[in-house]
Structure 1
Amino acid sequence: MRLARLFRFCLVLALLVGPLRLTAETVRVAYFHTELSARGPGLLLRDLRRDEAPDQLAAVLDILVETAPDIVLLADIDYDAGQATLAALQTALAQRGLPLPHGFTAAPNTGVPTGLDLDRDGKWDEPEDTQAFGEFRGAGGLVLLSRYPILRDEITDLSGLLWAEFPAASLPETYGPEEQAVIRLSATGHWDVPVRLPSGDVLRLLTLHATPPVFDGPEDRNGRRNADQMRLWADYLNGWRPEGTAPPLGKAVVLGTLNADPQDGEARPGALARLRAHPRLQDPAPQATGAAAATRAQGGVNARHGGDPAHDTVDWPDTRPTDPGNLRVDYILPTRDLTVTGAGLHWPDPEDAAALARTETASRHRLIWVDLRP
């Protein structure tokens, strides 16, 4: 009798508790190109440590708190070897009610000298001659912040990969053996960062901040590099690794600034489409009515664009014929084994003048987010 009662009790308990264990928690993954990079090393850290943050920094922090991501990749955050800037960001956000205790960053390729005259202007020590444009080492790096533990021993950093070592690299004809022996593929950082979710699943964050496909000549070195930087993650999802091949990844998200729009802009045709059409990836396409309203109101170059303005993620100049206008350049692309329960683009409607002013103070780029269930 006692055994029977114990069995019924355990059965009821299993029915009550079991579903709770099987229900995965929704995770909000965000990306924000902050444009917080300062004019010199240590200046962003100084601003983070001030009693009152400067207007732009305060606006960025407020938007992060408002959107409340569980995991967020921040671009254009200056790097320091002691990672004091990362720690100061975590402190500033925690004080505002957004604790993201786990973080990762690594030295970007920006500002790293090559010793070569890459733009052929007779000088070799300018920002244009570094691995990726930067006024100083560490300018405009990437920072990943997370509510959940980062599996640091399993991180893969591909930022040091030489462009010439990437399979079928689309190197410009102007790059001879000297350039090919030095130039890296990554502009800022290609990281594979695994995060342990509350469900027990591991989510791999595949990061990048691609080279703008402009500011070059007919050799199209930046356009070629931009395309190969996107292709790296497509090949990686297929199992390619610098040292050989590996089983395809499990649950993952490609996120960052790709500097390519699906229909407009100057990126090489097909480069972005190949990544978005990867059979393992899905595109939630975050949108906002504020983005569409801004494009309609501004007109100019935007009036000639073919893409849906509701998906634009950056508010670039749009007055002169050569201006880029508003484009979709920032992306979060989850693998198809993740369920998308929501997606958004932080671009307030013009009617909310205060919120729009804060957003414009923060960055020309807009924060994007996707809610995922593993």
Structure 2
Amino acid sequence: MRALGALGALTVAAVGAAAPAGAAPASGPRDHQHTLRVATFNASLNRSQPGELVADLASGADRQARAVAAIIRTTAPDVVLLNEFDHDDAGEAVDLFRQRYLAAGAAAGGASAIDYPYAYAAPVNTGVPSGRDLDHDGTVGGPDDAWGFGTFPGQYGMVVLSRYPIATDAVRTFQHFRWQDMPGALLPDDPATPEPADWYAPEVLAQLPLSSKSHWDVPIEVGATTVHVLAAHPTPPTFDGAEDRNGRRNHDEIRFWADYVAGGRAGEYIYDDAGRPGGLAGGERFVVVGDYNADPRDGDSTAGAIDQLLDSPRLRDPEPTSRGAVEAAATQRDANLAHRGDAALDTADFTDNPGPGNLRVDYVLPSRNLPVRDAGVYWPMADEPGSELTGQHPFPSSDHRLVWADLRVPGLH
């Protein structure tokens, strides 16, 4: 586990700057003195080989990274989770991205530079070899037999960037929590055998983690208030078979946070990587963030998967929207025509034929004791400034869109 602390060398800071004139607006008027903007962004900054992201970022001129950075600089979140950001133990990629793309250099539309002096990154399960035939294809090895799908350890990792101090000594990680230790876990069943929930042998279940990447509780010190950033990136509920091993894992990865924040006995079974038991203490302020690969009405996720969070009495759903998502669904048509959900809530531009179409899969869900002042999805319409950063396939930045919410934090001045 490695926490990335303050970077004293970074001196350019314009976090409170408004979006540049002519840019697609990130939100309505924002009270910078009294709100905390929290965002999540699956930035697709993943590469096919270890060390490749570091090499790409080193020049300061990587086109995709510049587009991702321009979106972050335009929306100017105070805290942002980046999914699909390859992890390296030395933290080089995180430092390069902060220094050469966010805090320095020109950005599209003239978006002001932004300083994130605090960051948190840690190992994930993606690409970590299991030594087992997890997908039952008769061979051992490759991304489908890793503890989380990936071709090398750290691929599709995560990082939290923050303007505010991170209480690194209080971070809890759940990378190694075992799936079978969740009461009532939806463990997959091999349909070719009469035994229930037997897709994975007992010796596999003795090691198999619930998290395909990891689950992190990252406390952020916002003035006199601690806000727990609950970050994760559950596996896509597809790319499997009748056993639905990925759909079931996605469901339970989402359930983990619902139990963690529920209070009472719901989270008693939970233990972190340091062996500390239990969920989040009652009355704490928190925000669940990440790409959860589950839409409440459309797509292939297990029924009710994301509703475990959306319907939780401990959370509120800001229901962020964008006009660009509505336009994209209308012009791309195909799978989008059959969707039941509101296209304005979509956060990802997925393949339409074949494919699930555009879905809502990225979330910023604050606790009930953090009032929402505003929320949105950075998805400009095709004729608006900023659309050159989102675009259509092949995407300049990512097939996901940055999602943000402005939260009222007590004592923030």
Structure 1 residue 154 and structure 2 residue 170: aligned?
A: yes
1:65-102 Cα distance to aligned partner (Å, 9 max, x none) = 01101000001111111111111122121115100000
State the partner residue of 1:208.
232
Structure 1 residue 54 and structure 2 residue 52: aligned?
A: no
Give the 5 Å matches for 1:235-274: 235-239=259-263, 240=267, 241-242=270-271, 244-245=277-278, 247-248=281-282, 250-274=284-308
User: C-alpha distance in 1, partners of 2:33/2:401?
Assistant: 28
Measured after TM superposition, the shift of residue 293 of structure 1 is 0.7
Instruction: Kindly indicate which of the two structures has a greater share of residues assigned to helix.
Output: 1
State the partner residue of 1:111.
127
User: C-alpha distance in 2, partners of 1:296/1:165?
Assistant: 44
User: C-alpha distance in 1, partners of 2:380/2:65?
Assistant: 18
Contact 2:125–2:214 (CA under 8 A) maintained in structure 1: yes
State the partner residue of 1:166.
182
State the partner residue of 2:152.
136
1:222-278 Cα distance to aligned partner (Å, 9 max, x none) = 111000000100111023132544532510000101111010011111121121110
Which residue, 138, 151, 158 being the options, matches 1:122?
138
User: C-alpha distance in 1, partners of 2:320/2:305?
Assistant: 20
Contact 1:196–1:203 (CA under 8 A) maintained in structure 2: yes
Which residue, 230, 239, 242 being the options, matches 1:218?
242
State the partner residue of 1:87.
95
User: C-alpha distance in 1, partners of 2:81/2:41?
Assistant: 6
Q: Which amino acid aligns with 1:275?
A: L
Unmatched 5+ residue regions in structure 2?
1-31, 106-112, 189-196
State the partner residue of 2:222.
197
Give the 5 Å matches for 1:1-374: 25-51=34-60, 53-92=61-100, 93-96=102-105, 97-172=113-188, 173=197, 174-198=199-223, 200-239=224-263, 240=267, 241-242=270-271, 244-245=277-278, 247-248=281-282, 250-320=284-354, 323-352=355-384, 355-360=386-391, 361-374=396-409
User: C-alpha distance in 2, partners of 1:219/1:122?
Assistant: 16
> Which secondary structure state, in structure 1, belongs to the residue aligned with residue 258 of structure 2?
helix
Q: Which amino acid aligns with 1:112?
A: V
Q: Which amino acid aligns with 1:350?
A: A
Measured after TM superposition, the shift of residue 128 of structure 1 is 0.3
Contact 1:237–1:249 (CA under 8 A) maintained in structure 2: no
Contact 1:24–1:373 (CA under 8 A) maintained in structure 2: no
TM-score, normalised with respect to structure 1: 0.90
**After the TM superposition, which segments of 4 or more aligned residues of structure 1 sit over 6 Å from their partners?**
none
Contact 2:175–2:211 (CA under 8 A) maintained in structure 1: yes
User: C-alpha distance in 2, partners of 1:193/1:25?
Assistant: 21
User: C-alpha distance in 1, partners of 2:174/2:215?
Assistant: 5
Paired positions, count? 347
> Which secondary structure state, in structure 1, belongs to the residue aligned with residue 365 of structure 2?
strand
User: C-alpha distance in 1, partners of 2:349/2:119?
Assistant: 29
Measured after TM superposition, the shift of residue 319 of structure 1 is 2.2
Contact 1:71–1:144 (CA under 8 A) maintained in structure 2: yes
Unmatched 5+ residue regions in structure 1?
1-22
Measured after TM superposition, the shift of residue 25 of structure 1 is 2.3
Aligned-residue RMSD, C-alpha: 1.4
Contact 1:36–1:77 (CA under 8 A) maintained in structure 2: yes
TM-score, normalised with respect to structure 2: 0.82
1:331-354 Cα distance to aligned partner (Å, 9 max, x none) = 0100010011110101011212x6
State the partner residue of 2:191.
none
Measured after TM superposition, the shift of residue 167 of structure 1 is 2.1
User: C-alpha distance in 2, partners of 1:99/1:340?
Assistant: 24
User: C-alpha distance in 1, partners of 2:356/2:203?
Assistant: 33
Contact 1:253–1:332 (CA under 8 A) maintained in structure 2: yes
State the partner residue of 1:18.
none
